[in-house]
Amino acid sequence: LAKLDFTQAEIKNSTGAILDLAAATNADLAEAASVAGGALRAFNLNATETERVASVLAVATTKSGLAFSDYATILGTVGPIANKFGLQIEDTIAVIGKLRDAKFDASSAATAFRNILLKLSDPASELSKRFGGAATSSEELFSRLKILKDEGVDLGQVLELTDVRAS
């Protein structure tokens, strides 16, 4: 955590949650600290949120086909963009889990979700044009994704609109 510019007090207060995360995910302490700290930074969260972040990561690791180490890649790729959209870590992890269920590996899932977010926020993209303009909040994002789902548009078609090819 020191490498991520956390203060000594923040490190001390986060240690219990990091130890629990390492135990729950069978990760070494340095990796648990790095992934949790990276998640806190990606979502612009205070160190007081370490327990929440650790719980999200532990549950996600045990309930998905992703390894704990995958979350470093995932959160580094999509976390800051998701945060700018107003998405919480829980929402982001849930979407990545659905992409994993669709047989995406960690890097591809993170890149695909990142591209969907970027295209939905770009008024010139085909995806945002489909809705008459860019989405600027998580509410607009989820509303538009629900519209696509209701129209029977599948993930492959969404990815075509983002110039990302389904694997």
Token pair belonging to 107: 């890097």
How far apart (Å, rounded) are the C-alpha atoms in residues 96 and 22? 21
CB < 8 Å & 24+ apart, contacts of 108-112 = 108/167, 109/74, 110/73, 110/74, 110/75, 110/76, 110/77, 110/78, 111/77, 111/78, 111/164, 112/159, 112/162, 112/164
Around Cβ 103, how many Cβ atoms within 10 Å? 11
Q: How far apart are CA 79 and CA 59, in angstroms?
A: 18
Residue 29, pLDDT > 60, answer yes
pLDDT at 164: 52
- Let me know: does 162 contact 115? Beta carbons within 8 Å: yes
Whole-prediction pTM: 0.83
Show the tokens assigned to 13: 């207060």
**Tens-digit pLDDT profile for residues 106-118:** 888 899 889 888 8
What's the average model confidence in pLDDT over 49-53?
97
Find where tokens 């860019």 sit.
134
102-159: per-residue pLDDT in tens?
788 888 889 988 988 888 888 888 888 877 788 877 788 778 778 877 888 777 777 7
